[in-house]
Amino acid sequence: MKMSDRHKLIEQVEKFGVKFPSRQRFVLGYKDGKTSIFTTENKSKIKLENEKFSNNRSLLIDGTVTALLDIRDIQNAEEYADTLLKLHKKWGLLKEVTE
């Protein structure tokens, strides 16, 4: 699956069983010359505008270097896919976004 295929991405999110609405952390990871974006659920009850990025670090046991890109309250699979695609495009990991 190409990240640029929005419809397939939405299907994968629904198939994987991501629950919405939820607060998601979007994290940039770099290991072995590969850059990728992954997400984790943020269970914090703090208002989104009061979240501190320094308190939302991702530590991966395999040594992957990470940086927190964004924290968002996501309402559905479509919004999740759109946010992920925008971040891929912004960080140069996606050349073309298609409907």
Walking along the chain (99 residues) 10 residues at a time, the average pLDDT comes out as 74 92 92 88 82 70 85 95 92 63
pLDDT of residue 53: 67
For residue 28, the cross-strand partners are 37, 67
- CA–chain centroid gap for 12, Å, is 14
Phi-psi region of 38 (alpha: psi -120 to 50; beta: other; left: phi over 0): beta
| Residue 74: predicted pLDDT | 96
Query: E strands within 32-87?
Result: 34-41, 65-74
Residue 34: HSE in the Cβ half-sphere, 13 Å Cα cutoff: 7
Q: Which amino acid belongs to residue 6?
A: R
pTM of the model: 0.78
Res 78: pLDDT: 95
Give the per-residue pLDDT at 44: 82
| Residue 2 confidence (pLDDT) | 55
Domain ranges of the chain: 6-46+54-90
